[in-house]
Amino acid sequence: MTDKIARRIKIKVGVRGKIKGTSDRPRMSVFRSNNQIYVQIIDDTAVDGSGKTLLSESSVSIKDKMTKTEKSAKVGEIIAKKTLATGIDTVVFDRNGFLYHGRVKELAEAARKAGLKF
């Protein structure tokens, strides 16, 4: 494991120790790879405390030609609309050890703009 990945995992463990998703306020977890971005809405209290994914979205489903940052914003809008359609309007944001910068920030701001609160 490289130092970069080990650092991210260490940060991730620290962040996850402080936040927990509930059925009223689920956790919005973001994963960023080199080319794609994925987001899940998770209820950590369901299924014996191991969590249950309620909704998910990724930039893989977007076929339009746009930059990775623009795709991240589009994914944020889509997941916000899906989440609001299920009756959930407030989530806990889990950046998953990534810096709140660039694509992660774009996704979060687009979700906020679409009406999701966190």
Q: What is the pLDDT of residues 65-74, one digit of tens each?
A: 999 999 999 9
C-alpha distances in angstroms, 20 versus 17, 74, 96, 102, 109? 8, 25, 12, 24, 21
Q: What is the pLDDT of residues 5-46, one digit of tens each?
A: 899 999 999 888 888 888 889 999 999 999 999 999 999 888
Helix or strand run (H / E) with residue 30: strand 27-32
Q: Which domains does the chain have, with CATH numbers?
A: 3-113 (3.30.420.100)
| C-alpha radius of gyration, the chain, whole number | 14
User: Model-level pTM?
Assistant: 0.90
